[in-house]
Amino acid sequence: MEKIEIKTEKIKKLLDGLSYNLDRLSFETFDSTFPVIARNMRDLHKEKNEILSEFGQEVFFKYSPELLNRAKQIEEKFDSIVRIFSNEEKRLEKELSGVISRKKITNYLRY
């Protein structure tokens, strides 16, 4: 069981790092923070698959049930961030549409 302890600790550290980086993610830090988040997600996926293939899902969740709670919290953070970025995209789309409409009206009034 020592091997599963090492792997679950690694997953805990990756989850902590992912949570930290999600908290730091903003429009200003997106370009530098998102690649780190993506790398953390790939590493987490790899570690999870290794544990599941070696020990099975039942042993993994029985041995470390708090990881599921942490993963759900991170999923909620992702959902919140996606919502924020989607709302900003919609706002910018409306603003751009208004600018384009004003430009068309201005061009029309010139003729």
What is the share, in percent, of the chain residues with pLDDT greater than 90? Answer: 50
Query: What's the CA gap between 69 and 26, in Å, rounded?
Result: 24
Query: Whole-number mean pLDDT of the chain?
Result: 88
pLDDT at 95 over 80: yes
* 71 or 90: which leads in pLDDT: 90
- CA nearest neighbour of 4 among 54, 72, 42: 54
Structure confidence at residue 1 (pLDDT) = 60
Q: What is the mean pLDDT of residues 30-49?
A: 92
Query: What's the CA gap between 45 and 48, in Å, rounded?
Result: 5
Q: What is the mean pLDDT of residues 70-74?
A: 90
What is the pLDDT confidence band of residue 94, given thresholds at 50, 70 and 90?
Answer: very high
Query: What's the CA gap between 102 and 24, in Å, rounded?
Result: 37
Q: Is 18 exposed, middle or buried (0-12, 13-18, 19+ CB in 10 A)?
A: buried
Going by the DSSP 8-state scheme, the letter that residue 111 receives in this structure is -
- CA nearest neighbour of 67 among 23, 9, 25: 9
Q: What is the mean pLDDT of residues 32-45?
A: 93
Which residue type occupies 69?
N
Structure confidence at residue 87 (pLDDT) = 95
pTM for this prediction: 0.75
